């Protein structure tokens, strides 16, 4: 068996980068950026008014003026006006370009507008550039705004739009097929015999992929038959970038997935990782470069291996750079009884100081999927035997 770190390295070494495509900005939410984006111009691109009110010459007001003639009104998007003299002011709106000759804005709440004049409070204090967002204070023209490898959420999309990018280069969405195996599996809603179980793993895998922004996902259910496995997997290997299997990879007589994959020319990279749960995990590469992840069929093992290996691997193949798992402290001791890396489901909470904690949620084994409800993910614990105390800091993976 290999360690989880060795499994990471082997997967990373054999996964090919996905191709790049140019898409309209409105289609890029959740995608991975594959080019750098630079500032089109300074931000703000001009001295920007930050409050509704009046634009003034602050020196004149500091000199004792308490009543200013309202010269005009300038809205956001209007060309800048020019202040006639220090005895005048210009009614101004948030987002507008600061009028020429003005260096401060007094908020509308602090003035009284009557008969074309602005009356100022007697105790008003005015500083130069108050309520003005100065040009270039956020970023300069040509500055790097987004680096290749960034995952594009709402703020990044807005940044790209602000940089004048109608289209951007992103990683193509991988085509993924989720395949569950087993004669005992029955679809939700279908009649169920006492010796059968519901087909649930595939639904969990698809949900986990979709919530991370993967869209091109199909699924299939194959029986425990070498002929059926070989025939159907041949099609999936030819038509998908990633094949994710659940079940059929352990040591039983009907664990036929490795045999079927070998017959189809899929090169085994590793089989079995020194971890619990999920020890029988299998990984290989098809003749045309398709990545094949064969996960153990027990539900907890399936979800752990998916979050620990499959999702980060696909994200890395898309060029995403921020794939490392965050670290968190245990809220209670956890015992690892074997010389295997341990994965423990956890529920997150914050204490009164806002610090996050991971509360262990033990299962009744890798088949106990009911215990996962309400958990947020799992933590990775070093090989034992050992007891890891409250406060022990380790990596956490979200479902």
pLDDT values of the chain reduced to their tens digit, one per residue, 399 residues: 999 999 999 999 999 999 999 999 999 999 999 999 999 999 999 999 999 999 999 999 999 899 999 999 999 999 999 999 999 999 999 999 999 999 999 999 999 999 999 999 988 999 999 999 999 999 999 999 999 999 999 999 999 999 999 999 999 999 999 999 999 999 999 999 999 999 999 999 999 999 999 999 999 999 999 999 999 999 999 999 999 999 999 888 889 999 999 999 999 999 999 999 999 999 999 999 999 999 999 999 999 999 999 999 999 999 999 888 999 999 999 999 999 999 999 999 999 999 999 999 999 989 888 999 999 999 999 999 999 999 999 999 999
Which residues make up the CATH 2.170.190.11 domain(s) of the chain? 48-133
Residue labelled with tokens 């020194």:
274
pLDDT of residue 324: 87
pLDDT of residue 137: 97
pLDDT of residue 251: 82
What CATH homologous superfamily does 4-19+173-317 map to? MoaB/Mog-like domain (3.40.980.10)
- In DSSP terms, 105 is beta-bridged to 55
Hey, is 112 helix, strand or coil? strand
pTM, entire model: 0.87
- Cβ neighbours for 205, distance < 8 A, ≥ 6 positions apart: 178, 219, 244, 246, 302, 303, 306
φ/ψ (deg, to 5) at 37: -120, 130
d(CA 188, CA 319): 36
d(CA 278, CA 340): 11
d(CA 77, CA 110): 24
**What single-letter DSSP state applies at residue 318?**
T
Residue labelled with tokens 């270039």:
136
Which residues make up the CATH 3.40.980.10 domain(s) of the chain? 4-19+173-317
pLDDT of residue 61: 94
Neighbours of 192 (CB within 10 A): 12
What CATH homologous superfamily does 21-42+148-171 map to? Molybdopterin biosynthesis moea protein, domain 2 (3.90.105.10)
Which residues make up the CATH 2.40.340.10 domain(s) of the chain? 327-398
- Cβ neighbours for 72, distance < 8 A, ≥ 6 positions apart: 81, 90, 91
d(CA 367, CA 247): 12
pLDDT of residue 369: 87
Class of domain 327-398: mainly beta
Greatest CA separation for the chain: 95
Which residues make up the CATH 3.90.105.10 domain(s) of the chain? 21-42+148-171
Could you tell me which of 333, 357, 336, 335 has the C-alpha nearest to residue 347?
A: 357
Class of domain 48-133: mainly beta
């Amino acid at each position: 068996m290999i360690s989880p770190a060795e499994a990471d390295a082997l997967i990373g070494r054999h996964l090919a980068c996905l191709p790049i495509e140019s898409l309209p900005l409105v289609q890029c939410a959740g995608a991975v950026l594959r080019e750098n984006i630079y500032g089109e111009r300074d931000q703000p691109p001009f001295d920007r008014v930050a409050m509704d009110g009046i634009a003034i010459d602050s020196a004149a007001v500091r000199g004792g003026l308490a009543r200013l003639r309202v010269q005009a009104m300038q809205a956001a998007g209007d060309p800048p006006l020019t202040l006639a003299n220090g005895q005048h002011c210009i009614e101004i709106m948030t987002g507008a370009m600061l009028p020429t000759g003005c260096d401060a804005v007094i908020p509308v709440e602090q003035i009284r507008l009557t008969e074309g004049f602005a009356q100022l409070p007697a105790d008003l204090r005015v500083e130069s550039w108050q309520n003005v967002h100065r040009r270039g204070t956020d970023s300069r023209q040509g500055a790097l705004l987004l680096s290749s490898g960034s995952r594009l959420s709402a703020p990044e999309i807005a940044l790209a739009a602000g940089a004048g990018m109608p289209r951007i280069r992103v990683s193509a969405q991988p085509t993924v097929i989720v395949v569950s195996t087993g004669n005992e599996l029955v679809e939700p809603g279908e009649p169920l015999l006492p010796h059968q179980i519901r087909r649930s793993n595939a639904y969990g895998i698809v949900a986990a992929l979709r919530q991370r922004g993967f869209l091109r996902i199909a699924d299939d259910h194959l029986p425990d038959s070498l002929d059926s496995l070989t025939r159907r997997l041949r099609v999936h290997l030819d038509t998908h970038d990633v094949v994710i299997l659940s079940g059929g990879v352990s040591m039983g007589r009907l664990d036929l997935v490795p045999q079927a994959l070998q017959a189809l020319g899929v090169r085994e990279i590793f089989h079995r990782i020194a971890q619990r749960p999920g020890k029988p995990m299998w990984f290989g590469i098809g003749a045309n470069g398709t990545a094949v992840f064969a996960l153990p069929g027990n539900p907890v093992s399936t979800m752990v291996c998916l979050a620990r290996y499959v999702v980060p691997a696909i994200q890395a193949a898309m060029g995403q750079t921020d794939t490392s798992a965050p670290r968190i402290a245990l809220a209670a001791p956890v015992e690892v009884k074997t010389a295997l890396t341990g994965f423990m489901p956890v529920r997150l909470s914050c204490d009164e100081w806002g610090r996050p904690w991971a509360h262990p949620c033990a299962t009744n084994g890798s088949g106990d999927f009911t215990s996962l409800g309400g958990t947020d993910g799992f933590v990775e614990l070093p090989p034992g035997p050992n007891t890891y105390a409250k406060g022990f800091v380790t990596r956490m993976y979200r479902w």
